[in-house]
Chains A and B, each alone.
Chain A
């Protein structure tokens, strides 16, 4: 009996759920129409590597929207992106390759953001500036998305149901909205709409929002700064995502839409298209 048939017979159990491999992504970061500099930074990485239970595809995607005096904001967002990436590589990717026990992913990501917070805070104190950044990170591994988030950048999932925002904006206006104290219309023009109650690098104590969810039924993930979600309506976002274009082209189209809408702020986004199971 040929070996493939033999194997087939032995293996009567249904195959384990198919692993999602081969995601593709697009990235864009644009200065916009009003600001002189782009203080946002983004990071995207996809890799395939041997894991304890077989070949795994791992994706790491980060959007950081810098703020603070002069060019400090750009420094803070770059630092945050680099620190979180390095911590994840050292805490997760390297151990997988070395066959060490894996770190708990949400703990690792939360700690990475806290490390970024401490280091940026220290650097800002040295330089006497008040730089800080938002940070939204998504790690995709074995059919699950692990997220860490501080500030008002966002992570959306796109399914047949439409767009769902997976993050909470850490802004006063978002809190007032959550409590039903103001209407969405009032939020748009609220004098405190740009006030965050926490960010990376501007206070000792931050609470990193940490969560995870299975990617079942999810067509794509969108990470973006408020330069996109604040000016391009969700309906328009959705139409563009569903336009059948390649992820990179969609990113560029969305930047163009944000600029047409005034481009008040820097515009940054990552779109991750997931394979269908």
Chain B
């Protein structure tokens, strides 16, 4: 993001804004002069170079000869100081203006010395009109430095300098004319992030030239301002670095001036430290920008690790992402050790890309469908419910009316218990018992080992809600619109609470309160002992999703397409997040993140504190399954029959497994195995 310097009342705005780059316009707040503290690593105030000074004539806005940024209309470009046709030193004829920056103008010129040929050159003129003599001094120094630096360099990716002179108090550099387009313009013209392969090829070349600079003798040269607008791409895809205005000879341990471009510069540069690995950071930032189209100047500084490129461009290969993130480490020691090392990693990757990556950038590593599956078990009807794992036994209900008990290690059948109708409710467990609700309207409490009935409790309608246990009571909703509390030992009814719609949501508990949704569109908070209403909160449509509690909040989805976060004590909605379809899926809170599916086909990852989207993953099919997170990976099923495993942090797909019909239930995960049912009538055990 552009830096906005806070300004007090005493100071009037500067007479003219920096002319070139709208993005770097900043505002100055009056800053009382800080007492200089000896011994602190303080940057000298006179060297506090403003972004306008950092903006150089080859910047994208400027190259067109007219600013194109958002503030362009407000900022008339400075008029060039030389008119077309003017001749400098009897030799260089001005042909056109290429760009106007804060401190210099770049012209396209013709070298008249070579009579027979049409030889063009770039003419860079220092035009600083700063009323501040100190600032002028710095500009002049930078200009001279650029000239003498370029004179000592010889590399195909660095423009050659032909001449350097002063005319009428103005300074001119005559440079090799680089025909091409800068990377910022290329990126702006592209509707999508740039191609991975192309970016890698450029990056290899950039590492080449950086390595040349960093190995400069007697002292390394730090470019200090690597960013898309400072890289030209010629018609044959060669890169040329332009603008050496702030490059400097590296002197070990010398604290220099804080300089560079916000967004691309490494953190240490803000305390005046410029060293070779800072250029690698800026190259990483540049690559991140090219591959995501997310402009780092518009983001919170140094947040690349919160925005891994794959979260913005899912097609990106994980290898390249790792490579870029290593360049972007805050800690210099954690980055690539040198441009050479980064270059060889890029070359390895270019090789890898062709051999080992499937289209779409998903690594082919890991077991394929056959190896993924450990076992499957076939029921006689659809499996819509979610499995429960309890003491090494898997309990799952099917639409064939049965609750099955299977051995988790091999999927061996242990027993089944027939109810009168289908089961889509998930079982719960306590002590030696499991309980499940059935479409027949009953809750059955069974001995976990034998499947023998302990008790049966009756409701007035089908049960699609899953029973939940709190202390010595079991809570369940029924299509008869009631929420029931049953005594855990005998199944006697403790209380009922009447809502105005079928209750298909399952209760969650916090303290002595249970939270449950109803098809009447409300979320209810009910005291667990008395059945008394504590609060209710309204959404627009049925609440089938089950509330989850975390950190004093309730999270729940609604068919009105929102995911709600409510204050647990009062029911006031703190935030809501809109998806494009019904939210039947029950959210999962894991750390500071929340995962939830929607019938719009996306699995969303949100920040729990404010509902901000971190990433989403598209399945192009409905998701009613509730995600589970284990070991940094999120697992869920979708309407397309797939079971997905994604990286919880980035949403990148790790693997997927195809079943024969929609997967509506929630996976149970234990000891590296994912257990999940499918409407293809099977229960699967998959390697996590």
Tell me if A172 and B3 are in contact (CB < 8 A). Answer: yes
CA distance A143 to B568 in the complex (A): 10
Residues of chain B within 8 A of A39, CB atoms compared: 8-9
Tell me if A104 and B573 are in contact (CB < 8 A). Answer: yes
Interface residues of B in 176-230 (CB under 8 A from A): none
- Select A144's contact among B7, B330, B572, B576, beta carbons within 8 Å: B572
Tell me if A67 and B527 are in contact (CB < 8 A). Answer: no
Residues of chain B within 8 A of A122, CB atoms compared: none
Interface residues of B in 596-621 (CB under 8 A from A): 609-612
Interface size band for B: 35 or more
Q: Does B417 reach chain A (CB closer than 8 Å)?
A: no
B313 CB to nearest A CB, Å? 19
B614 CB to nearest A CB, Å? 13
Q: Across the A-B interface, how many residue pairs have beta carbons closer than 8 Å? A: 211
B273 CB to nearest A CB, Å? 9
Q: Does B132 reach chain A (CB closer than 8 Å)?
A: no
Tell me if A192 and B270 are in contact (CB < 8 A). Answer: yes
Q: Does A260 reach chain B (CB closer than 8 Å)?
A: no
Tell me if B9 and A181 are in contact (CB < 8 A). Answer: no
Closest to B527 in A: A13
Tell me if B300 and A207 are in contact (CB < 8 A). Answer: yes
- Select B1's contact among A35, A129, A198, beta carbons within 8 Å: A198
Tell me if B3 and A191 are in contact (CB < 8 A). Answer: no
CA distance A21 to B609 in the complex (A): 25
Interface size band for A: 35 or more
Closest to A173 in B: B270
Q: Say whether, besides A67-B27, A191-B258, A106 and B13 are in contact (CB < 8 Å).
A: no
B323 CB to nearest A CB, Å? 21
Residues of chain B within 8 A of A68, CB atoms compared: 7, 13, 27
Task: Specify the main secondary structure of chain B where it touches its partner.
Answer: loop
Q: Say whether, besides A67-B4, A106-B575, A132 and B270 are in contact (CB < 8 Å).
A: no
CA distance A146 to B271 in the complex (A): 36
Interface string of B653-677 (1 = CB under 8 A from A): 0000000000000000000000000
Residues of chain A within 8 A of B25, CB atoms compared: 130
Residues of chain B within 8 A of A128, CB atoms compared: 74
Q: Does A244 reach chain B (CB closer than 8 Å)?
A: no
Residues of chain A within 8 A of B31, CB atoms compared: 193-194
Tell me if B572 and A196 are in contact (CB < 8 A). Answer: no
Tell me if B41 and A186 are in contact (CB < 8 A). Answer: yes
A67 CB to nearest B CB, Å? 4
A205 CB to nearest B CB, Å? 6
Tell me if B573 and A103 are in contact (CB < 8 A). Answer: yes
Residues of chain B within 8 A of A194, CB atoms compared: 5-6, 29, 31
Q: Does B455 reach chain A (CB closer than 8 Å)?
A: no
Closest to A227 in B: B8
Q: Does A243 reach chain B (CB closer than 8 Å)?
A: no
Closest to B609 in A: A211
- Select A53's contact among B34, B36, B570, B573, beta carbons within 8 Å: B570
- Select B576's contact among A107, A193, A214, A264, beta carbons within 8 Å: A107
A152 CB to nearest B CB, Å? 8
Residues of chain B within 8 A of A262, CB atoms compared: 32
Tell me if B32 and A185 are in contact (CB < 8 A). Answer: no
Tell me if A204 and B9 are in contact (CB < 8 A). Answer: no
Q: Does B12 reach chain A (CB closer than 8 Å)?
A: yes
Tell me if A192 and B535 are in contact (CB < 8 A). Answer: no
Residues of chain A within 8 A of B575, CB atoms compared: 104-107, 210, 212
- B residues touching A (Cβ–Cβ < 8 Å)? 1-13, 25-27, 29-32, 34-37, 40-43, 45, 48, 70, 74, 258, 262, 267-268, 270-271, 298, 300-302, 330, 512, 527, 529-530, 532, 534-538, 540, 552-553, 564-565, 567, 569-576, 609-612
- A residues touching B (Cβ–Cβ < 8 Å)? 11-14, 16-17, 34-37, 39, 52-53, 65, 67-71, 73-74, 101-107, 110, 125, 128-130, 132, 134, 141-144, 146, 152, 170, 172, 175-176, 179-182, 185-186, 188-199, 202-205, 207, 209-214, 262, 264-266
12 contacts across the A-B interface (CB closer than 8 A): A14-B527, A67-B4, A67-B27, A101-B538, A132-B27, A175-B302, A182-B41, A191-B48, A197-B2, A197-B262, A198-B1, A214-B567
The 5 closest A-B pairs by CB, nearest first: A69-B13, A142-B570, A13-B530, A210-B610, A106-B575
